[in-house]
């Protein structure tokens, strides 16, 4: 066999088409007789709709149809992850309608839609729609929304509360805090972010009047799930009448997991106009208001422990802003995926968290790269620094002191995943945290830190170093756990794979997962090349079309390499077993005597009696010599439901320099030692880490959605919402430790989110460390020059 492709940094097979303009994104698809839709969005954050007059719009050039809320015969969008558990299920779910009918709850909520021959005609007609709004007072801040006298968004949600949920041992944590030698308290804001995939969303809906079937092309991470959510949940159409196709998807970061109103709207529009396909492409400014946002927590933390650095208790109260109506799994993110992982990689005996979900007049909030885990990492990593500072302990030392010990796995976290309801308990199955910390400290030259701070002061800079020893949970998820209502989203999360070895020996791998630029076509080919002994180029990966691929839950939560690959490996195992049986027939030997080496199937002891996989596939396809009872073809499907999640971890270290006069923060070094288990393609792993780190740094230094008090989004475009740029970042210095995951046969863990989970806290801790000598203990992100300058002025007793 040639070199094993598994673990090799081969170039991504999909890149040539992506970077030469040969990709096939939604807006590249042009169907015969296709028309265009534009959506009129509310200019008010909170208003009642008195009337919508579309008469003038209907008369505009090129206009084919105008749709208002009252025309839509469908349900509101499904919301499938209520917080449940300790909160109890409340009957206060308000999810978006396909078009608003009587009120709007955020600027950007869809009110009417125009279908026209060209996009420009559709936009022009939007301006002719007359909506009579009754503006209402708005509230955008979660803390203000739950205060007495706040504007009320929904009759069924008094005080704008979606849920009040808790996890952990309230009394035990109270006692630990009471008894502690030291307690540190801090309010933290984890600001709202706008995700910004390079490709905005978009869809094409087509109703076929001949077959009465619908087809939906969508920029989605979850075409199979959407076939259910858009189909049966929203429109009342079962799976066999709706086909969902996600072509090339230009980034998503979680935003394209969810069920959006435009999906049903393009299908409805196509049906109303007799079956011409209807395309809708989201503009960037529109994306800022109609696609989910991320984060937006206000947290009060208390961390308690001993003067020797042992942490004995952590209590957290978080207000999670979920927007004007609920997105598909909005409540699940700040509960299960945040509060149950708050203790990170530390052994903290008493943890208690209360989370309140809140409606505000803002865009809905849901999973954004890391989804809950970056927020949790931020809380615990800031808490460790705050505590260390309080007791005068070294920040690396306090982490070491509290790490879960390498012999304590599987570790049963008392407030961890699976403690809410009937679902299966989830254990932290493996880990070894100190080697990553030691390596990162050595790389960064931790011992020289003080000298470097002194040197920076001579240049008018404050230098700071920040640590983030993160733990992430991914590879979601065992259905027995995630399927439990209240704990998870009431549905499974297995994956599926089909493999066909064709007559020529070429392999078609068909997956239920759905990439958005991660390189799945490359990494799956590497896995199958390894499993079947065929060259990578002989494997083609098909995905993201509900017609022709087995059901799958899609790609998010860093689950594809762990859950998807294992399904593929299982399917490959079935292929090998059938090939072995047929090789035995061909070579007149017993199946047990067939030895498999790559693609060669030989008789034990007679290596010259050998058949290749291609020869076997050829013969099994033609099948004239097949033994009685053996089905033709090498075609096998497998489903895999993981037994546990996976638990990547590592240490990230940031060094920043702050200009004392302007407050400008410069990230000067970034060191990351990650343990993501074994790697299918180390180059792709590095790429995921680089992008994730940059994204997390973006939150720390630049990004933040800003609303005014009336609910207008002031950071409404890329002119005012700052994304990280390559030139602002240092060369990342990456290294690894390798603790293979025990849950899957290749020991991978998942790396899609790790960078974003770890880096925000590292940079935040570095900035606060830099300002520490001035007496600054904490500062909320993003660390824009103005924010940092003001902190410096305040600390120095200046006029600010």
124/248 with CB nearer other proteins: 124
Torsion of the alpha carbons at 334, 336, 339 and 341, rounded to the nearest 10: -130
106/789 with CB nearer other proteins: 789
Q: Are 292 and 327 in contact (CB under 8 A)?
A: yes
Rounded to an integer, what distance in angstroms lies between the CA atom of residue 785 and that of residue 777? 18
454/714 with CB nearer other proteins: 714
Q: Are strands 600-603 and 594-597 parallel, antiparallel or unpaired?
A: antiparallel
Q: Please report how close the Cβ of residue 706 comes to other proteins at its closest, in angstroms.
A: 5
- How far, CA to CA in Å, does 706 sit from each of 327, 364, 712? 20, 14, 8
Instruction: Tell me whether residue 313 is exposed, middle or buried, using C-beta atoms within 10 angstroms of its C-beta: 0 to 12, 13 to 18, 19 or more.
Output: buried
Rounded to an integer, what distance in angstroms lies between the CA atom of residue 729 and that of residue 738? 26
232/722 with CB nearer other proteins: 722
Q: Please report how close the Cβ of residue 230 comes to other proteins at its closest, in angstroms.
A: 26
Conformation bin of residue 537: beta by default, left when phi > 0, alpha when psi is -120 to 50: alpha
| Sheet of 103-104, strand order | 103-104, 47-53, 130-135
Q: Are 273 and 209 in contact (CB under 8 A)?
A: no
502/790 with CB nearer other proteins: 790
Q: Please report how close the Cβ of residue 119 comes to other proteins at its closest, in angstroms.
A: 6
102/708 with CB nearer other proteins: 708
Q: Which of 374, 342, 314, 291 is nearest to 106 (CA)?
A: 291
Q: Please report how close the Cβ of residue 38 comes to other proteins at its closest, in angstroms.
A: 9
Q: Are strands 278-281 and 47-53 parallel, antiparallel or unpaired?
A: unpaired
110/505 with CB nearer other proteins: 110
Residue tagged 């309230």 (tokens): 170
Q: Please report how close the Cβ of residue 60 comes to other proteins at its closest, in angstroms.
A: 12
Q: Please report how close the Cβ of residue 126 comes to other proteins at its closest, in angstroms.
A: 10
91/799 with CB nearer other proteins: 799
Q: Which two three-digit tokens encode residue 97?
A: 């309608």
Q: Please report how close the Cβ of residue 766 comes to other proteins at its closest, in angstroms.
A: 18
Q: Please report how close the Cβ of residue 108 comes to other proteins at its closest, in angstroms.
A: 14
211/799 with CB nearer other proteins: 799
Rounded to an integer, what distance in angstroms lies between the CA atom of residue 570 and that of residue 532? 11
Rounded to an integer, what distance in angstroms lies between the CA atom of residue 305 and that of residue 398? 11
Q: Which of 510, 581, 500 is nearest to 534 (CA)?
A: 500
Sign of CA dihedral 365, 366, 370, 373: positive
Residues that bind other proteins (CB under 8 A): 119-120, 123-124, 283, 285, 661-664, 702, 706, 714-715, 717-723, 784-786, 789-790, 799-800
Q: Please report how close the Cβ of residue 699 comes to other proteins at its closest, in angstroms.
A: 13
SS3 495: strand
Q: Please report how close the Cβ of residue 106 comes to other proteins at its closest, in angstroms.
A: 19
445/730 with CB nearer other proteins: 730
């Amino acid at each position: 066999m040639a070199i094993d492709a598994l673990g090799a940094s081969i170039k991504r097979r999909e890149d040539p088409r992506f970077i030469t303009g040969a990709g096939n994104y939604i807006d590249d698809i042009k169907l015969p007789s296709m028309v265009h839709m534009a959506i009129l969005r509310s200019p008010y954050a909170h208003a009642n709709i008195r009337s919508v007059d579309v008469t003038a719009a209907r008369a505009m050039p090129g206009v084919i149809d105008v749709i208002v809320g009252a025309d839509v015969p469908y349900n509101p969008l499904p919301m499938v992850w209520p917080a449940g558990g300790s909160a109890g299920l409340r009957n206060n779910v308000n999810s978006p309608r396909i078009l608003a009918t009587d009120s709007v709850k955020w600027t950007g909520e869809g009110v009417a839609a125009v279908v026209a021959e060209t996009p420009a005609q559709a936009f022009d007609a939007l301006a002719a729609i007359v909506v009579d709004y009754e503006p209402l007072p708005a509230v955008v801040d979660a803390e203000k929304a739950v205060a007495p006298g706040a504007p009320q968004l929904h009759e069924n949600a008094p005080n704008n509360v979606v849920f009040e949920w808790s996890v952990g041992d309230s009394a035990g944590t109270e006692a630990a805090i009471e008894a502690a030698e030291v307690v540190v308290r801090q309010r933290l804001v984890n600001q709202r972010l706008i995700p910004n995939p390079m490709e905005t969303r978009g869809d094409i809906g087509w109703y076929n009047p001949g077959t009465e079937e619908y087809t939906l092309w969508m920029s989605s991470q979850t075409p199979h799930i959407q076939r259910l959510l858009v189909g049966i949940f929203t429109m009342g159409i079962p799976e066999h009448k709706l086909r969902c196709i996600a072509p090339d998807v230009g980034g998503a970061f979680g935003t394209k997991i969810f069920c959006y109103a435009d999906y049903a709207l393009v299908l409805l529009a196509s049906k109303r106009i007799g079956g011409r396909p209807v395309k809708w492409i989201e503009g960037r400014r529109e994306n800022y208001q109609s696609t989910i946002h991320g984060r937006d927590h206000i947290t009060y933390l208390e961390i308690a422990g001993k003067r020797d650095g042992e942490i004995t208790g952590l209590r957290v109260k978080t207000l999670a802003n979920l927007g004007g109506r609920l997105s598909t799994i909005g409540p699940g993110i700040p509960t299960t995926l945040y509060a149950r992982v708050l203790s990170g990689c530390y052994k903290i005996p008493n943890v208690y968290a209360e989370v309140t979900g809140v409606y505000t007049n803002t865009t809905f909030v849901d999973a954004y790269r890391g989804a809950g885990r970056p927020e949790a990492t931020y809380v615990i990593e800031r808490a460790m620094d705050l505590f260390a500072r309080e007791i005068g302990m070294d920040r690396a030392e306090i982490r070491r002191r509290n790490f879960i010990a390498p012999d304590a796995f599987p570790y049963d976290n008392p407030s961890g995943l699976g403690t809410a309801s009937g679902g299966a308990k989830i254990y932290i199955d493996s880990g070894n945290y100190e080697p990553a910390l030691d390596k990162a400290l050595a790389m960064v030259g931790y011992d020289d830190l003080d000298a470097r701070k002194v040197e920076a002061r001579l240049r008018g800079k404050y230098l700071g170093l920040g640590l983030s020893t993160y733990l992430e949970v991914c590879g979601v998820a065992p259905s027995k756990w995630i399927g439990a209502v209240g704990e998870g989203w009431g549905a499974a999360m297995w994956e599926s794979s089909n493999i066909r070895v064709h007559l020529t020996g070429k392999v078609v791998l068909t997956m239920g997962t759905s990439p958005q630029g991660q390189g799945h076509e490359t990494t799956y080919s590497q896995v199958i090349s390894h499993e079947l002994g065929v060259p990578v180029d002989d494997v083609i990966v098909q995905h993201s079309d509900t017609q022709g691929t087995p059901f799958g839950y899609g790609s998010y939560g860093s689950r594809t390499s762990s859950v998807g690959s294992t399904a593929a490996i299982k399917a490959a195992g079935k292929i090998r077993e059938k090939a072995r049986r047929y090789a035995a027939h061909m070579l007149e030997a017993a199946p047990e005597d067939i030895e498999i080496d790559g693609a060669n199937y030989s008789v034990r002891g007679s290596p010259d009696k050998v058949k290749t996989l291609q020869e076997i596939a050829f013969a099994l396809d033609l099948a004239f010599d097949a033994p009685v009872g053996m089905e033709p073809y090498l075609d096998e499907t497998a489903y895999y439901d993981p037994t546990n999640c996976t638990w990547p971890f590592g240490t990230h270290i940031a060094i920043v320099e702050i200009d004392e006069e302007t407050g400008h923060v410069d990230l000067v070094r970034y060191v990351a030692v990650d343990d993501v288990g074994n790697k299918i393609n180390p180059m792709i792993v590095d790429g995921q880490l680089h992008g994730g780190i940059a994204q997390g740094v973006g939150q720390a230094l630049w990004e933040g959605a800003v609303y005014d008090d009336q609910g207008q989004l002031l950071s409404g475009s890329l002119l005012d919402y700052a994304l990280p740029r390559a030139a602002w970042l240092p060369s990342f210095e990456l290294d690894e430790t390798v603790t293979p995951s025990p849950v899957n046969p290749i020991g991978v863990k998942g790396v899609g989110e790790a960078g974003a989970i770890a880096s925000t806290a590292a940079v935040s801790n570095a900035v606060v460390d830099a300002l520490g000598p001035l007496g600054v203990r904490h500062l909320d992100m993003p660390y824009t020059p103005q924010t940092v300058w003001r902190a410096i002025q305040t600390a120095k007793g200046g006029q600010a």
